[in-house]
Structure 1
Amino acid sequence: MATTNLNISVFDKRMLKQSEPASYSGLPVKHFKSACPVRPVELKQGTLLWDRRDLDLWIDDVKSGSVTDTRETILDRL
């Protein structure tokens, strides 16, 4: 019987494109855009990316109940 080795490298992306942060958070894109206070980063001109670590902090804040919406935070998201 023949033996085969398969070497696979798997790594998690830190920066997520357009629909990926919505999927990562479990929200539809429409709801993610209005709910998420995390601002994207433009690493390459015209390409917006969301940092997964920032998303994790936001989700942890929501879970702990420490996120409070103020008028300014709501307007910042729009």
Structure 2
Amino acid sequence: MASATLQLNIIPKRMLTKAEAAHHCGRPVKRFEVECGVAPVRFPNGDLRFDVKDLDAWLDSLKGGSSSDADDIVSRLA
């Protein structure tokens, strides 16, 4: 039996459609529209896309108690 090596280079997209953004967040599109507070970016041609970095920050904020939040609170107390 012959064998082969396959090398795949996957370049993830940074800007997602609403359906892709909902899938990225693990939410149905209808729930994503209601729950997600991330504003899409409007491209010059009018297309709306969601930035993966903004979506990830929103998801992280749902978990609460991140160290960066704690550091921010401590810095305000000083």
TM-score (norm 2): 0.70
Structure 1 unmatched runs, 5+: 67-78
Identity %: 44
TM-score (norm 1): 0.70
Where relative contact order (Cα < 8 A, 6+ residues apart) is larger, the structure is 1
Aligned length: 66
* Amino acid of the structure 1 residue aligned with 2:53: R
- Once residues 17 and 57 of structure 1 are traced to their aligned partners in structure 2, the CA distance between those partners, rounded to angstroms, is 17
Partner of 1:14: 14
Q: Flag as ranges the 4+ runs of structure 1 deviating above 3 A.
A: 1-8
* Amino acid of the structure 2 residue aligned with 1:61: S
* Amino acid of the structure 1 residue aligned with 2:26: G
Structure number with the higher strand fraction is 1
- Once residues 5 and 29 of structure 2 are traced to their aligned partners in structure 1, the CA distance between those partners, rounded to angstroms, is 40
Counterpart of 1:27 in 2: which secondary structure? coil
Structure number with the higher helix fraction is 2
**CA displacement 1:43-73 (0-9 Å, x = unmatched):** 242210000000000000001168xxxxxxx
Counterpart of 1:49 in 2: which secondary structure? strand
Q: Answer with 1 or 2: which has the greater Rg.
A: 2
Q: State the superposition RMSD in angstroms.
A: 2.2
